[in-house]
């Protein structure tokens, strides 16, 4: 799969843009485990043009994480165009437009998935941004606003006509948020459209290597995107890539090995930010790691993890888990 001259190889698996998750440290870790491309946290166009420090910091890219896409969101043409030019100066490989975020503070103001209620404006913004920058522009969106307005098959053509060079579709509507199951049927229908020539990346509920292969085989997508399944489990990329390449499951990764990965995630987060902010950022991802699901009487330990404020305390809990729950 290629996005312009960026070759992501056969059946690429990419890391989704996720607020408060895909910072440089986490992106690099997922890259090391096999992610073929990574996306930044989404960036507010309004905040960018106001040079808000916290927002500008999201543009920082490590050369080792390439290819990397910076994703922006906004609700008017002029702001999105100006923000796109600022992003281009940060030299990402790709600029992605977020027309899919369903949360109220974004979609409720007309940005993100809110654009699914104003397709003419979405297309106007897309065309203007494509014309304003030299780097490839891509889009991430959803099936539609709600079940009665699942417009993605027609919308994909319209976005392609605006000049985007890849499209990622999450298999839910905005109304669904993250509930229910992702429906990839319409994503497959996009690929069946003979007019579509840009890469189509599917997203939503890819949580196992077997599901990843099924999505490629059944729906014909060019790539898949993994989001929430990477929480506390960045090695999912290693598992998925191995299965796609060999048809066999990766030999089981030991509990101790996974615990060391989580420790490294803590260290990376603290090094990127500082101890307090690094712990606040990473602790909820560790506490929600799927490797702890199903462990009897784990609730109190999880609560303790969510209350830690120092590396020492968090590592003490990880030591306790390793000594009492290792399987």
Q: What is the pLDDT of residues 110-167, one digit of tens each?
A: 999 999 999 999 999 999 999 999 999 999 999 999 999 999 999 999 999 999 999 9
DSSP-based three-state secondary structure for 2:
strand
**What mean pLDDT comes out for the span 321-325?**
83
Q: What burial letters (b/e) apply to 236-247, b meaning 16+ CB within 10 Å? A: bbbbbbbbbeee
pTM: 0.92
Distance of CA 85 to the CA centre of its chain: 22
Return the pLDDT at 243. Answer: 97
Burial (CB count within 10 angstroms: exposed 0-12, middle 13-18, buried 19+), residue 36: buried
Is pLDDT of 4 > 70? yes
Categorize the per-residue pLDDT at 326 as very low, low, confident or very high, splitting at 50, 70 and 90.
Answer: low
Alpha-carbon torsion, ordered 16, 96, 168, 220, to 10 deg:
-100
Cβ-in-10-Å burial (0-12, 13-18, 19+) of 217 comes to exposed
Q: Which residues are catalytic?
A: 101
CA pair distance 175, 103, nearest whole angstrom: 10
β-pair type (13-15, 37-39):
parallel
Residue percentage of the chain with pLDDT more than 90? 82
The residue whose two tokens read 């002029």 is 78
Tell me what the mean pLDDT of segment 297-301 comes to: 89
Q: Could you tell me if 7 and 42 are in contact, meaning their C-beta atoms sit under 8 angstroms apart? A: no
Q: What whole-number distance in Å separates Cα of residue 65 and Cα of residue 108?
A: 33
Which pLDDT value is given to residue 7?
97
DSSP string, 115-184: GGG-HHHHHHHHHHHHHH-SS-EEEEEES-SSGGG--HHHHHHHHHHTT-S-EEEESS-TTTTT-S----
What percentage of the chain reaches a pLDDT higher than 70?
99
CA distances 316 to 270, 301, 309, 319, 325, Å, are 16, 11, 12, 5, 14
Higher pLDDT, 226 or 297: 226
Q: What is the structure's pLDDT at 327?
A: 59
Q: Are 72 and 59 in contact (CB under 8 A)?
A: no
| CATH value of 7-246 in 3.20.20.70, 3.40.50.2300, 2.40.50.140, 3.40.50.300 | 3.20.20.70
Residue 7 has which token pair? 């070759």
Answer for the pair 156, 190: CB distance below 8 angstroms, yes or no: yes
Ranges of each domain in the chain: 7-246, 255-325
């Amino acid at each position: 799969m290629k996005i312009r001259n960026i070759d992501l190889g056969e059946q690429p698996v990419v890391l989704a843009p996720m607020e408060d998750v895909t910072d440089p440290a986490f992106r690099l870790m997922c890259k090391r485990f096999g992610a073929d491309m990574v996306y930044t946290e989404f960036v507010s166009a309004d905040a960018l043009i106001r040079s808000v420090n916290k927002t500008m910091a999201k543009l920082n890219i490590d050369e080792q994480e390439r290819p990397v896409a910076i994703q922006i969101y906004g609700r008017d043409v002029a702001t999105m165009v100006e923000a796109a030019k600022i992003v281009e100066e940060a030299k990402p490989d790709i600029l992605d437009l977020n027309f899919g975020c369903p949360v109220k503070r974004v979609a409720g103001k007309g940005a993100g998935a809110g654009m699914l209620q104003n397709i003419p404006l979405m297309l106007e913004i897309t065309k203007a941004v494509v014309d304003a920058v030299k780097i490839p522009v891509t889009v991430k969106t959803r099936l539609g606003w709600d079940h009665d307005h699942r417009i993605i098959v027609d919308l994909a053509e319209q976005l392609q006509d605006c000049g985007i060079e890849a499209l990622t579709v999450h298999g839910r509507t905005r109304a669904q948020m993250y509930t229910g199951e992702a429906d990839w049927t319409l994503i497959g229908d996009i690929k069946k459209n003979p007019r579509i020539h840009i890469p189509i990346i599917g997203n939503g509920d890819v949580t196992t290597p077997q599901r990843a292969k099924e999505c490629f085989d059944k729906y014909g997508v060019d790539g898949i995107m993994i989001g929430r399944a990477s929480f506390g489990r960045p090695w999912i990329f290693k598992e998925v890539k191995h299965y796609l390449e060999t048809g066999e499951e990766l030999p089981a990764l030991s509990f101790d090995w996974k615990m060391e990965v989580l420790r490294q995630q803590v260290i990376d987060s603290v090094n990127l930010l500082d101890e307090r902010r690094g712990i606040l950022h990473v602790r909820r991802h560790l506490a929600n790691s799927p490797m702890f699901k199903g462990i009897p009487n784990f609730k109190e330990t999880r609560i303790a993890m969510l209350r830690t404020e120092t590396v020492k305390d968090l590592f003490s809990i990880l030591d306790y888990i390793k000594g009492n729950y290792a399987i």
